[in-house]
Amino acid sequence: ELKVEQNPLFLSMQEGKNYTIYCNYSTTSDRLYWYRQDPGKSLESLFVLLSNGAVKQEGRLMASLDTKARLSTLHITAAVHDLSATYFCAVDIGGGGADGLTFGKGTHLIIQP
């Protein structure tokens, strides 16, 4: 059974600081997704990582994938309050989405002024 573990599960940080969220998964996969969820809202796609060594960047967020280590990271640079949200990683092991995505528990991120 695929397990997806995120850490930390809760993170409070100050604006302007850098931090990294880690996502480990237990079964071979080369498809990993990062989503953002604001309170009471649905999930917004942030990044799609489809190969070993993939790196994607959007604004202050950068995601990477190491399939050999079964590890993805989401790095936040010079955090701003607007990035406060819950961030989920999700792994697809079914090959093309046929088995759906397995999500981690999420990292609840609070960025304080």
Binding site for another protein (CB under 8 A): 4, 31, 33, 35, 41-45, 48, 50, 88, 90, 92, 94-106
Between 8 and 100, CB nearer to another protein: 100
Tokens of 38: 């604001």
CA 38 from centroid of its chain's CA atoms = 14
Least separation in angstroms between residue 15's CB and another protein is: 25
Between 4 and 65, CB nearer to another protein: 4
Answer whether 67's CB lies under 8 Å from 7's CB: no
Least separation in angstroms between residue 20's CB and another protein is: 19
Least separation in angstroms between residue 96's CB and another protein is: 3
